[in-house]
Amino acid sequence: MASMASVNIGGQQMQGDVNDPIMKFKMLVPRLKELLQKVMLQAAHVLNQNALLDSCTVRNPDVPVQRFDKCLEDFYAICDQIEMYLRLATEVITQNIDAQRHAPMPTQQPVTQVTQQNFDTVGYVHYINQVRLQMASAQELHDVLVECARRIGGDKPVQQPPS
């Protein structure tokens, strides 16, 4: 069973699966906002320092400046993580849609403890048998199509890809 967590994001209490990519995305958004603000402030500071240097009003800035490239690198790192989690979420949703389409009843992972059986789910062994039947049907359909192509092609032998 997936672990559930309660997370405080932006003053709102949210509950969700710790392994859920959407939940991880939501947890990264406040950090992204913070880093964006930091990048903008750092960019403004660097532009101001460069303008002062260009106008020859300040010869040598003695204020220690945090590196702009470091701030930008942190911002891009969070952006990359967010992109990864959103792609993962898209993949999970696509996989769920495919599972609903091809397996009419949701599958259930094998459990080590004896629990009350949920009649809306299929056990893993039953799911494997269903997959084997689908694979046999797909092979049978493939064989029929190859035979059909052979007949249409005038009895020329059709090369089958190695299995």
Q: Is the model more confident about 71 or about 163?
A: 71
Summarize the confidence of residues 28-56 as an average pLDDT. Answer: 90
H or E, element range at 17: strand 12-17
Distance CA 92, CA 28 (A): 19
More confident residue, 159 or 98: 98
The yes-or-no verdict on residue 97 having pLDDT over 50 is yes
pTM: 0.53
Are the C-beta atoms of residues 106 and 122 closer than 8 Å to each other?
A: yes
Helix (H, G, I), strand (E, B) or coil at 107: strand
| Mean pLDDT in residue range 112-117 | 48
Model confidence pLDDT, tens digit, residues 121-155: 667 787 888 888 889 889 999 999 999 888 888 76
Neighbours of 151 (CB within 10 A): 11
pLDDT digit string, tens, across residues 69-86: 899 999 999 999 999 999
At residue 114, the pLDDT reads 44
